[in-house]
Amino acid sequence: MAEPEFTARGVRIARWPRSLTRAGEVRIEDGRLALLTSYGSEIDSAPVGAVRAGRPWFAKSDEAVATVNGTRYRLTLHEDGGVDDTGESAGSGRFLAALERAAGRR
């Protein structure tokens, strides 16, 4: 099995207005985005080409919003608090960049 292109643990995954997990995992592997609970159960997954993601103006710097199979999820990617040169937190910036790379949208 190949190593995931992106993985983040300790992610808060919420589907408005309810929090699904506070210690989940976001994984991009083999061209698919998977949202997992802290126990490893799959919340949702889809091919990266079908996923829409971004960081809205009203979101905090460590948050991203992803639409997977028509359902919007708010992802809070806690990192060490660092901010990259685009103004996004290292976690959300890495997630969005990895998603674009995996979808081939450079």
Q: Is 61:52 a contact under the CB 8 Å cutoff?
A: no
pTM of the predicted model as reported, rounded to 2 decimal places: 0.86
- As given in the structure block, the two tokens for residue 21 are 């997990």
Q: What's the pLDDT band for 105 if we cut at 50, 70, 90?
A: low
Round to whole Å and give the CA distance between 95 and 21. 18
Q: What's the pLDDT band for 106 if we cut at 50, 70, 90?
A: very low
| pLDDT, tens digit (0-9, with 9 covering 90-100), for 18-60 | 999 999 999 999 999 999 999 999 999 999 999 999 999 888 8
